């Protein structure tokens, strides 16, 4: 028997089920399951309650054709945000809208609205937009607290990773008080680290606790590939809740200031000064000048004239200018602060009334 004939006979045998009987193929019966467990029910409940407050943000940039000089709008980026109040304020990351000429906000029901920039604070990577939408479409997110978070707490992230809107991921608080860098290269202190999957497009979205309350704004991931590697960071909500009202009220964040300029860290080492804010300039008529602070300088012969180093603010140590600016941001213009000041080996305390950074 030839090989070709054998193959044909085998094919015919298998196609008829071996005995000419037709193979029976019916849908499988489904297996009943019990009730969802408590964790699953909470996951579902949190998503149903909070997802209507989460929005998709698309930024557009105007591009001009080199030859025709015609302009067109092209998508330049996407991200996530959340509804802050029923006045239409939407909070997101500054880097989500950075470089865009226009932004569009898409709500949970897929309706879209043009957004206007209300204010931004790049040092903390926070921006506030505003849309004109019916109040019933603007359920404000519930705001929690970050000061009492504990490592191990359950967290949720809702966002639009890779443009896939309304995506829920879960995880835990992996660590607290991390430091990350903002777009201005200022340090954002107190960041929340989480292993909830955060990918490009999640930026600006809410990090939630198990009660569905906002505890942070997802802002960065640590990943060599650019995708989630189980290390994400969020700006703590206590910081957000301090900055956003000022942006809504003033359109910008005006930092309380002392009116000083600090020298570099290596200068402090060279001069044998302690860690702190070494003053190289004190502005005339500034809060620092009124408090009697003096900068380092040189006399006519070129010798160093001892100045002041601010080592703490209201009893909290400051290792450098960034530390001091972060502390001053938590105060109000016109508020009095007690400074611990070092000069020529002597330490003293002075009281200064904070002015405006403008």
CA angle 122, 123, 126 (to 5 degrees): 50
223 given a catalytic annotation: no
Among 53, 174, 182, 203, which one carries the catalytic annotation?
203
DSSP state of 36: P
Per-residue confidence (pLDDT) for residue 92, from 0 to 100? 96
Which two structure tokens, joined as six digits, stand for 274? Answer: 């302690």
- Report yes or no: 343 and 349 within 8 Å, Cβ to Cβ: no
Q: Residue range 270-275: average pLDDT?
A: 88
Given a contact cutoff of 8 angstroms between Cβ atoms, the answer to whether 41 and 34 are in contact is: no
Q: Residue 67's pLDDT is what?
A: 59
In this prediction, residue 228 has a pLDDT band, given cuts at 50, 70 and 90, of low
CA distance linking residue 180 with residue 194, whole number of Å: 13
Catalytic residue, from 95, 165, 209, 312: name it. Answer: 95
Give the per-residue pLDDT at 68. Answer: 56
For residue 89, indicate whether it is catalytic.
no
Question: Is-catalytic flag, 95?
Answer: yes
Q: What domains sit in the chain, N to C, each tagged with a CATH number?
A: 49-137 (2.40.10.10), 154-250 (2.40.10.10), 256-356 (2.30.42.10)
7 or 107: which carries more pLDDT confidence?
107
Helical residues (DSSP H) of the chain, grouped into ranges: 3-15, 38-50, 94-97, 237-250, 265-271, 287-290, 321-328
| Contact status, residue 100 vs residue 125, Cβ threshold 8 Å | no
Q: What is the pLDDT of residues 31-45, one digit of tens each?
A: 888 889 999 999 999
Share of the chain above pLDDT 70, in %: 86
Which of 56, 123, 125, 195 is flagged as catalytic? 125
pLDDT digits (tens, 9 = 90+) for 309-336: 999 999 999 988 888 988 898 888 899 9
pLDDT digit string, tens, across residues 11-32: 655 555 545 556 778 888 888 8
DSSP 115-163: EEEEEEEGGGTEEEEEE---GGG-PPPPB--STT--TT-EEEEEE-GGG
What's the CA gap between 96 and 152, in Å, rounded? 29
Q: What is the pLDDT of residues 138-179, one digit of tens each?
A: 999 999 999 999 999 999 999 987 767 788 999 999 999 998
**pLDDT attached to residue 326:** 84
Residue 258 has pLDDT above 70, yes or no: yes
pLDDT value for 74: 58
Band the pLDDT of 202: cuts 50, 70, 90: confident
Rounded Cα–Cα distance for residues 29 and 47 (Å)? 31
Distance, in Å, from the CA atom of 90 to the CA atom of 116, rounded to the nearest integer, reads: 10
Cβ 50 vs Cβ 141: under 8 Å: yes
* pTM (2 d.p.): 0.75
SS3 316: strand
């Amino acid at each position: 028997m030839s090989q070709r004939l054998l193959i044909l006979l085998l094919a015919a045998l298998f196609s008829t089920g071996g005995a000419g009987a037709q193979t029976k193929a019916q849908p499988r019966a489904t297996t009943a399951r019990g009730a969802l467990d408590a964790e699953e029910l909470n996951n579902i409940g949190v998503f149903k309650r909070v997802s209507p407050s989460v929005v998709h943000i698309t930024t557009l940039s105007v591009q001009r054709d080199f030859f025709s000089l015609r302009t067109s709008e092209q998508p330049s980026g996407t991200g996530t945000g959340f509804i802050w109040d029923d006045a239409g304020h939407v909070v997101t990351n500054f880097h989500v809208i950075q470089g865009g000429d226009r932004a569009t906000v898409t709500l949970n029901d897929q309706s879209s609205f043009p957004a206007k920039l209300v204010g931004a604070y790049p040092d903390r990577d926070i921006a506030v937009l505003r849309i004109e939408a019916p109040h019933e479409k603007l359920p404000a997110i519930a705001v929690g607290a970050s000061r009492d978070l504990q490592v191990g707490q359950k967290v949720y992230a809702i966002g639009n990773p890779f443009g896939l809107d309304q995506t829920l991921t879960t995880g835990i608080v992996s660590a607290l008080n991390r430091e990350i860098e903002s777009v201005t290269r200022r340090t954002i202190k107190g960041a929340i680290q989480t292993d909830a999957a955060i990918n490009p497009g999640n930026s600006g979205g809410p990090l939630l606790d198990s009660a569905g309350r906002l505890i942070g704004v997802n802002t960065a991931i640590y990943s060599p590939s650019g995708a989630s590697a189980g290390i994400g960071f969020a700006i703590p909500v206590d910081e957000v809740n301090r900055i956003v009202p000022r942006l809504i009220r003033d359109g910008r964040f005006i930092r309380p200031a002392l009116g000083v300029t600090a020298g570099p860290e290596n200068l402090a080492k060279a001069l044998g000064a302690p860690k702190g804010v070494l003053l190289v300039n004190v502005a005339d008529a500034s809060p620092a000048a009124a408090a009697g602070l003096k900068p380092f300088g040189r006399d006519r012969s070129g010798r160093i004239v001892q100045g002041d180093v601010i080592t703490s603010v209201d009893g909290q140590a400051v290792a450098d200018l960034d530390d001091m600016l972060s502390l001053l941001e938590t105060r109000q213009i016109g508020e009095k602060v007690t400074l611990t000041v070092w000069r020529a080996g002597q330490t003293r305390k002075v009281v200064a009334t904070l002015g405006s950074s403008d």
